[in-house]
């Protein structure tokens, strides 16, 4: 049987067995509607509120500041769109590297008359903090929307510095933390941020559930109207199984964060070293040093080759699952907006390998061998 290696964990992660068991138990025993006042409903409501309290405790904030959503995309949309509609934002500052959940939302709002500024980035994906400060010096109410870690190239942004700047200039700060919640600790009692987003399936939880943190000083209206769920912030019956799974996944992530960080960083470093050894001319996109780069992502710029667009396909045939960029762009013939923004060569095929606690060095060796075979076949 052909071996299969999964190295696309920035797109989604395998469901942790402990998370699955928690979800199964809820599915089997708790089917009531959490908005019902009878015993079956109250049991489910208790599960939701315990999950909310657990997540809030891990992030060092109050449970009232956590609102469950269907995804990180919904959380991003809620923060950005309601800031314009409810909070008087007339100016959005973002970067060309953001996830399309942010960029497409901002583009829509720009067509509606909102002023949009894009902060410059260098060839490693670092933003220009001096320009950001200059952009904040405006009479218009501003929202800064910048991610903590880029999902394609892994470059980390200094969100503490951004938060300080936003506070100094009385701007709102929304941070897409989908790639970092559960991988790094977030102390929301001290971090100067107004909104963050989380998606459970990035941390070995289920798809279809996430949350938005809303700073208690912020008062916005719902994105989705209907019932009074989520304390009138999001209409629709709660995804109880997903919420229970999200809470468990985040608990496990925090419990083992240090050891997983070290283990996965070693895998990333090992793959980088082996690629440099075996593939002459290989390069890497984004920041690569551990203190400046997301430890789960390695964006590789391979040497030019004939039919470069077939590289991912050939790896897939060899049993290797990876990505050429953001998973949300997979299957299209549109180049990566992130690689374009950092001026990566369009002639060099790029592959994002992203790792999890389930990957092994033996798998990395297998992937290196498959890459070598691809290049040997093109000689």
With a cut of 70, which residues of the chain have pLDDT below it?
1, 306-309, 325-333, 377-379
197, β-bridge pairs: 212
Which pLDDT score, from 0 to 100, does residue 378 have? 63
DSSP annotation of 219 reads -
Q: Determine the 3-state secondary structure of 179 from DSSP.
A: coil
Query: How confident is the model at residue 183, as a pLDDT?
Result: 98
Positive or negative, the CA dihedral 275, 11, 174, 93 is: positive
Asked if 193 and 163 touch (Cβ cutoff 8 Å), the reply is yes
Asked whether 123 and 71 are in contact (CB, 8 A), the reply is no
Same domain, 289 and 160: no
Beta bridge partners of 142: 91
**Contact by Cβ (8 Å): 319, 3:** yes
User: Which of these three, 255, 279, 295, is where a domain ends?
Assistant: 255
Domain that includes residue 343, residue range: 5-14+257-378
Domain boundary among the residues 255, 283, 316 is at 255
CATH of the domain at 269: 3.90.1150.10
What is the model's pLDDT at position 333? 54
- Please state the φ and ψ torsions of residue 116, each to the nearest 5 degrees: -125, 130
Tell me whether strands 66-69 and 210-214 are parallel, antiparallel or unpaired.
antiparallel
Residues 310-343: pLDDT tens digits? 888 899 999 999 998 543 344 455 789 999 999 9
Return the active site residues.
Answer: 328
Report helix, strand or coil for 182.
coil
Q: Token pair for residue 177? A: 């933390």
Query: Packing angle between helix 240-255 and helix 17-29, nearest 10 degrees?
Result: 150
Say if residue 304 is in the same domain as residue 331. yes
The whole-model pTM stands at 0.95
Query: What pLDDT, on the 0 to 100 scale, is given for residue 379?
Result: 57
Considering the domain architecture, whether residues 173 and 287 belong to the same structural domain is answered as no
């Amino acid at each position: 049987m052909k071996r299969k290696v999964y190295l696309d964990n920035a797109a989604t992660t395998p469901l942790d067995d402990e998370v699955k068991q928690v979800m199964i138990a809820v599915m089997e025993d708790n089917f009531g509607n959490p908005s019902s006042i009878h015993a079956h409903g109250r049991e489910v409501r208790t599960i939701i509120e315990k999950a909310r309290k657990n997540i809030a405790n891990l992030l060092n904030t109050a449970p009232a500041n956590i609102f469950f959503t269907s995804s990180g995309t919904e959380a991003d949309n809620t923060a950005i769109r309601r800031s314009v509609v409810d909070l008087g934002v007339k100016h959005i500052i973002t970067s060309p590297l953001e996830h399309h959940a942010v960029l497409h939302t901002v583009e829509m709002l720009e067509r509606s008359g909102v002023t949009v500024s894009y902060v410059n980035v260098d060839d490693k994906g670092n933003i220009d903090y001096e320009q950001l400060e200059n952009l904040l010096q405006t009479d218009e109410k501003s929202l800064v929307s910048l991610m903590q870690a880029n999902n394609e190239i892994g470059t980390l942004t200094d969100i503490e510095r951004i938060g300080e700047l936003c506070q100094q200039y009385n701007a709102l700060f929304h941070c897409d933390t989908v790639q970092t919640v559960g991988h790094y600790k977030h102390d929301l009692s001290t971090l100067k941020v107004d909104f963050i987003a989380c998606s459970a399936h990035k941390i070995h939880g289920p798809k279809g559930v996430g949350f938005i943190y809303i700073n208690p000083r912020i008062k916005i209206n719902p994105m989705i109207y209907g019932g009074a769920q989520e304390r009138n912030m999001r209409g629709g019956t709660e995804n109880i199984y997903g919420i229970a799974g999200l809470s468990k996944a985040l608990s496990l992530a925090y419990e083992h964060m240090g050891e997983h960080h070290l283990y996965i960083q070693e895998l990333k470093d090992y793959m980088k070293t082996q690629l440099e050894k075996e593939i002459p001319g290989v390069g890497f996109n984004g920041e690569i040093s551990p203190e400046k780069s997301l430890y789960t992502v390695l964006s590789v710029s391979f040497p030019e080759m004939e039919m470069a667009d077939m590289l991912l396909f050939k790896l897939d045939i060899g049993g290797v699952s990876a990505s050429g960029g953001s998973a949300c762009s997979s299957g299209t013939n549109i180049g990566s907006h992130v690689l374009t923004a950092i001026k990566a060569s369009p002639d060099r095929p790029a592959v994002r390998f992203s790792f999890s606690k389930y990957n092994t060095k033996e798998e990395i060796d297998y992937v290196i061998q498959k890459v070598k075979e691809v290049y040997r076949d093109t000689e």
